[in-house]
Amino acid sequence: MKYRVNILVGVPQVFNALVNAKIPWFFSLLNPIRVCVSGGAPLSVEVLETFREKFHIPLLEGYGLSETTGGICVNPREGEQKPLSIGVPIKGVDVKVVDEDDLELGVNEVGELFVKSDSVMIGYYNQPEETAAVLQDGWLRTGDMAKIDEDGYVYIVDRKKDMLIVRGMNVYPREVEEVLATHPSVAECAVIGVPDKQRGEVPKAILTLKNSASITEKELRKFCHEKIAMYKNPKYFEIRESLPKTATGKIRKDILKQEERGKRYEEEDSVVEMTKAGDGI
């Protein structure tokens, strides 16, 4: 063939699978891929570094939205590539991070990411109210919490709707997930908020383990205590064989949250039934 695919774009699960796959020794001689781009979900540092060592191919993390009809930021192939960063804005794209009053924030301050570009949508079809909620003076409200460092590299902290408030303090599940992902026994993890009578809401970590790995809740708790503030630590840990995902490999946190709500309702119903029985009703 005269023309061969030489750029591979995929979600993190694709590159995770390649990292763990047995590749024939002659693959590097025949492989035409010269650069890979990951997007759609956070890419762990472990997968990033292992992929580069195994294939000797740049793996660049990027970011885009359906509302922007494509990419917004990407780590440069030529230049510094920062792990956990989605890179710098591509040509023709402006970004900023704002607070709750839509005032622009400074370096490394966390707020909502706004995007301006000719590629930003005109609006949602026949949904004027939804359109007005996300478009403001030419800027698109992404719904993602982010920060921009001194070099202009953008870091997605979490989805705004996923942020937890523990005793009045903001907790971003992605930060906790990134810590847990560095544990050698953890394969995948998702952190969600669950109700708590004293703290209002607390983090719960739901995770899967790598093949033949085993770990106790006590070990996981100690691991987190050594790396992040106490109030960010998960109060609960749950180990599963698998996590619900979309067709593109994203973890379905909405399903996990629904399951937790279902458990809470069952517990409340159980308490009601016990109360009735105790009152002789």
Q: Which two tokens stand for residue 280?
A: 């002789």
pLDDT of residue 273: 52
Does residue 265 surpass a pLDDT of 90? Answer: no
Task: Check if the beta carbon of residue 195 is closer than 8 Å to that of residue 267.
Answer: no
Across the range 68-78, mean pLDDT stands at: 91
168 and 110 in a common domain:
no
153 and 56 in a common domain:
yes
Mean pLDDT of the chain: 88
pLDDT of residue 226: 94
Does residue 275 surpass a pLDDT of 50? Answer: no
170 and 61 in a common domain:
no
Query: Could you tell me the pLDDT band of residue 277, with boundaries at 50, 70 and 90?
Result: low
98 and 202 in a common domain:
no
Decide the pairing of beta strands 200-209 and 236-239: parallel
- 3-state percent helix, strand, coil for the chain, nearest multiple of 5: 30, 30, 40
Q: Which of 138, 160, 182 is the last residue of a domain?
A: 160
Tally of domains within the chain: 2
pLDDT of residue 114: 97
Q: Three-state SS for 20?
A: helix
Position 78: which residue type? E
237 falls within a domain: yes
Q: Quickly list DSSP for 218-273.
A: HHHHHHHHTTS-GGGS-SEEEE-S---B-TTS-B-HHHHHHHHHHHHHHHHHHHHH
Is the pTM of the predicted complex or chain greater than 0.75? Answer: yes
35 and 87 in a common domain:
yes
Q: Which of 160, 194, 214 is the last residue of a domain?
A: 160
Task: Check if the beta carbon of residue 105 is closer than 8 Å to that of residue 111.
Answer: yes
- Which CATH number goes with the domain that contains 149? 3.40.50.12780
155 and 106 in a common domain:
yes
DSSP-assigned letter for residue 108: T
Host domain of residue 178: 163-268
Q: Which of 129, 160, 191 is the last residue of a domain?
A: 160
277 falls within a domain: no
34 and 78 in a common domain:
yes
Across the range 208-214, mean pLDDT stands at: 87
Where would I find the beta strands (DSSP E) of 34-138?
35-38, 59-65, 70-74, 88-89, 93-98, 111-117, 135-136
